[in-house]
Amino acid sequence: MKRRSFLHKATLAGVAPAMLPKTGFSYQKSDSTITNDPIAICTWNFEQANATAGKALMSGDNALNAAILAAQVEEENPENSTVGLGGAPDRDGQVSLDACVMDHQGNCGAVLAVENFVHVAALARDVMTKTPHVMLSGKGAEMFAREQNYPSTPLLTPQAKKAWEQWKETEKYQPIINVENHDTIGVLCRDKEGNISGACSTSGLGYKMKGRIGDSPIIGSGLFIDNEVGGAVATGMGEEVVKTVGSFLIVELMRQGKTPQEACDQAIERIIKKQQGTPNFQVAYIALDKAGNIGARCIHKGFTYMHFQNNSNKNIAVKAYINS
């Protein structure tokens, strides 16, 4: 059997829904406020990316497609130094990308440490839909991208190369963590059907060690969706998000009745609590629930997010935990 047809056929064994145990409780939505007008939110001020998702949703596209379309705008943007083309390389000068997606049915896919392919969010979806796996990394993910006919593209732009060469003059192998160093795109969309899906795409920390993976492609850390409840997505210092499984935490807090804002606040507080003194790194979360309520919180000031709804696309400043 050819490798590709094996991948199509070899789905993981399914479980009949009737056989699944009941969870014992279900998330109570604030029913009166539920409307299914499309919503797209994304990290930072990625106006065009979020507008792309919003327009796709308005024309009836599903939430997963819309989220991936938004991620692609930044993946193709050579000016964004933390996503896709033009992303900062690792300390050896090689750009490597991470991404994940999750849909309203709880399906997910991720790719890690991918070199020479731009559209890693779409590739993560292909892992989800065309393989029996959830994650592919490095050479395996690149081999899969070639099989799926993704064009191979050098990701290191002259501008990013120049910045890396400047960094090499001092060459600190500890990544410098500050608020200016994060531009990962995380997108959450609710479509006309009321379904929520999301995508997250990054080149990770600039000048990271080769092979370093942050939170962004890790389901539950960089992104988590539960269509009964809502979704959450992260940007910032991935190591700290992974330690608290931040996006999953937020969705579970919402399931227990917290608003998206309260859930984001608690997830940031969870990180702060673990620190001795003031953290010198940024982490930010955004969250969306089924009723369309939005929450966002960050450690340091400077984080904003985009909100598309009712044909308006706004950039919103987020309250920081540390008001310095």
Residue ranges that bind ligand ASP, judged by CB under 6 A:
82, 182-184, 202, 204-205, 214-216, 235-238
Cβ distance to ligand ASP smaller for residue 82 or 304 = 82
Running DSSP on this structure, what letter comes out for residue 104? T
Distance CA 220, CA 272 (A): 19
- Residue 25: CB minimum distance to ligand ASP, A: 32
Give least dist CB 196 to ligand ASP, A. Answer: 21
Enzyme catalytic residues: 184
Q: How far is the CB of 178 from ligand ASP (least distance, A)?
A: 11
What are the start-end ranges of the H helices in 189-237?
Answer: none
Distance of CA 286 to the CA centre of its chain: 10
Q: How far apart are CA 89 and CA 103, in angstroms?
A: 30
Closer CB to ligand ASP, 40 or 237, in the complex: 237
CB of 65 or CB of 202, closer to ligand ASP = 202
Cα 202 versus chain centre, distance: 8
Supply the minimum distance, in Å, between the C-beta of residue 108 and ligand ASP.
17
Closer residue to ligand ASP in complex, CB, 238/292: 238
Nearest to 267 by CA among 292, 245, 288: 245
For residue 151, count CB atoms less than 10 angstroms from its CB and return exposed for 0-12, middle for 13-18, buried for 19 or more.
Answer: exposed
Q: Which is nearer to ligand ASP, 86 or 238 (CB)?
A: 238
DSSP string, 45-102: T-HHHHHHHHHHHHTT--HHHHHHHHHHHHHT-TT-TTSSTT----TTS---EEEEEE
Pairing of strands 135-137, 312-317: unpaired
In the complex, minimum distance from the CB of residue 282 to ligand ASP, in angstroms, rounded to a whole number:
8
